[in-house]
Structures are given as structure tokens and as C-alpha cells.
Amino acid sequence: MVTTLSADRLAQLQDEDAEFALVDTRPADSFESWHVSGAIHFPFGPEEELDGRLEEFEETVGDVDRVITICAKGISSGNLATQLESATDAYDVQAVGDGMKGWSGVYDHVELDVESDLVAIQIQRRAKGCLSYVVGCGETGEAVVVDPTADVEEFEIAAAEADLSIVGVIDTHVHADHVSGGRELADSLGVPYYLGERATERGVEFEYTPLERNEVLEVGDRELKALYTPGHTSEMISLLVDGSALLTADTLHVDSTGRTELEFSQDEGERGAKLLYETLHRTLLAEPEGIVVLPGHVTVTADGEFAHGAPGEEIATTVRDARTRIDLLDLEREAFVDRMADAGEKPANYEEIIERNRGALEIAPEDRVELELGPNNCSA
């Protein structure tokens, strides 16, 4: 019987630079749009026979002793692994039992290099590039969670490991690329759930604690100032932490900016782009150049690589470096607006995800990961 391993174990093997061939059996379009870093494509069906294709497989993987197979849910990859084990003893074969569905839930916790009494942990979702945060006061042990995904246990674990107690949960906006765990985490802990004060204008159908423009939220001895930063969405806020770090969510990334047409219709897309331009140049880039920028996403390429940095490493920039290194920020206003109109493919199922995150649609837990499968396309 074929041995299975978890997606978390696959990530560990990658981090250890272990030698193996990772074989992805999904159809070509699925593989080409989103796959694990280093994967080799060998399409194989859930009921397909290996007869006549063994030589092709050997040529595909090359000279390796260990083979790990993966697909969407572990079905077709499990079939290939079973048949390989029966057909040849040339390989030590394993299958990722939960497939890309499991890979979507692999996280890295990265403690950020910040001032001594400020605790900041970046929670990286390896497959999607989602970046969430646990931000707290080392002296009092209080913390807030910012932009949590639906895997809420990751944030409770991160806080516990840092000896922090979560006293609030913040979503910077109504997300379009992933299902938020903000309300669930706040409800389970009995703490306030915050959104920007304009979230009601998005049709949010649940109660929340509004953060007003320039309102300061005290977390122990630390201060989080809510900056109104519309553009990616109309209600978007960013968070200035103790005047030293800026959580910019999907407004400003390390290598790009957020896109503007996921909320705004085609007719209103120009308005969203103009809002984002003003936000970037009059608010975020107007902050002191040494402030650390902590984004809400890092781009994950079709080859499964972080476009900036690597999993387990700090993903951050500064206001100074953003100004000088992000080409989009060099554009004049009209050119920027034109560029925003051509942001490329949208995140999968983004309309349903928005509806769920504003409380207008219920999604069963078993359907949530399926809805999120695929690349993250929130950057311009």
C-alpha cells in the first residue's frame, strides 16, 4: 500500500532540500496556472492505467530514487503512486494525501525584526501568498490579529508561542481572494472584530466595531492608527503601528500595488484607480521613508515561487524602497489609471468570496478550500 504524507511534510522536505521528484498529475491548465515549486508535470487520470507509459514516466522524472505524487485532492496522484509501486521497484513512492487542497493550508510563522517591545509575527500562506499578522506588546502580552485567513488555529498557535493574548481581530477590507477567518476568530475568543468605518457601504451584513479614519487603537503599550486608504476597495484601511511599521494589506505590496476592479465595476474602474493613486502618493508614500511596509500579499508565480523573498523569510520593504523600486509608482496619474485597467486574470471565485466575506453567502467549511484553490491574483 502506498505511503501518504501531508502537505506540511512536503513543505518540510522542500525546506530541507531533500532529493525527490515531485510529480503533479493534474490536467495541463490546472498545472500551468498554479503548482508547487519544483513540480514536474505528468498528467494522469484517477482511473488511468500506467501500462505503456512507464518509460515516458522514467524519462519525465529522470534519475531519482524518490517520487512524491500530488494532484488536487490526492485521487489521481494516489492512483499513479499505487501503479508505480506495482510496476517497478526503482522508486520509493509516496503520495500527498490531501493534495493541493492540503498545500493551500501550509503556513510559515515569521517573527519580524522590529523594535524591542513590539512583537510582530507574519503568518505566510505558502501556496497563496496571503500575509497575515499577529501584532502585540511584549510587555503587556496583548495582541491583535490582522487579516486572518479561515485557518484560524494558525493565529491562536502563533500568539500562544509568543506568549500573547489576542484582544482583537482586524480585517483591513472585504477580501476577494480568500475566505476571511476574522469574525470566526473574534467570536471564538469573545473579542472585538474591527473593520474600517466605511464597510457598511460595501453591504456588510453583520455587526462589527468600526475603525474611524485616524482612530488610534491601543494594544497594551502599542498604538495602531487606522489610515483610510481606498483604491483596492472603497473601505480599505491600512494600519500604522507605533509610527514604525505600516500594514498596507492589498494597497501596497513589496513589488507592486493592489488592483482596483474587483470591487469597482468596469464603469467605475477609473474611479477606483484614481482613488488608489491618491492613496499611494498622498498617504502611504508620504510617511517617513524609513517606515517598514508590511503587505497583505506576496506574489506567487505560476511556478510556485515567491516573487520576492522565500517562504519562512520576512516579506517586507520600506517606504523608501517602495518609492524607488516599484515601477508602477513612477507613473503619472493618467498612465497609472490606464495600467490599472489591464490588471490581468482575476482571482478564482472572487465574487462568491466577496459575498461570503460581507456576510451575504454561507459557505460550508468543507467547500471553503475548494473555493480558494488556485493562484492569488490581487496584485496589479
Q: Output the pTM of the full model.
A: 0.94
Write the pLDDT tens digit of every residue in 15-73. 999 999 999 999 999 999 889 999 999 999 999 999 999 999 999 999 999 999 999 99
CA-based nearest residue to 149, from 112, 119, 104, 113: 104
Write the pLDDT tens digit of every residue in 164-208. 999 999 999 999 999 999 999 999 999 999 999 999 999 999 999
Look up residue 310 and give its amino acid.
Answer: A
Give pLDDT, residue 264: 67
Place of cell 492608527: 225
Angle between helices 350-357 and 365-372 (to 10 degrees): 140
SS3 helix, strand, coil % of the chain, rounded to 5?
Answer: 30, 25, 45
Write the pLDDT tens digit of every residue in 315-347. 999 999 999 999 999 999 999 999 988 777 777
Query: How far does CA 322 lie from the centroid of its chain?
Result: 20
Give pLDDT, residue 377: 53
| Total residues belonging to the chain | 380
Write the pLDDT tens digit of every residue in 296-311. 999 998 889 999 999 9
Pairing of strands 3-5, 216-219: unpaired
Long-range contacts of 183-192 (CB under 8 A, 24+ apart): 183/208, 183/359, 184/150, 184/152, 185/145, 185/148, 185/152, 185/155, 185/156, 188/152, 191/166, 191/167, 192/168
* Per-residue pLDDT band at 267 (split at 50, 70, 90): low
- Please, what are the domains in the chain? 3-102 (3.40.250.10), 107-372 (3.60.15.10)
Enumerate residues 6+ apart whose C-beta is below 8 A from 199.
173, 174, 208, 210, 235
Give pLDDT, residue 58: 97
Question: Any bridge partners for residue 5, and if so which?
Answer: 96
Write the pLDDT tens digit of every residue in 201-212. 999 999 999 999
* Res. 113: pLDDT tops 90: no
Give pLDDT, residue 178: 93
Give pLDDT, residue 347: 74
Task: Please give the Cα distance from 128 to 150 (Å, whole number).
Answer: 13
In terms of Cβ atoms closer than 10 Å to its own Cβ (0-12, 13-18, 19+), residue 27 is middle
Enumerate residues 6+ apart whose C-beta is below 8 A from 28.
41, 43
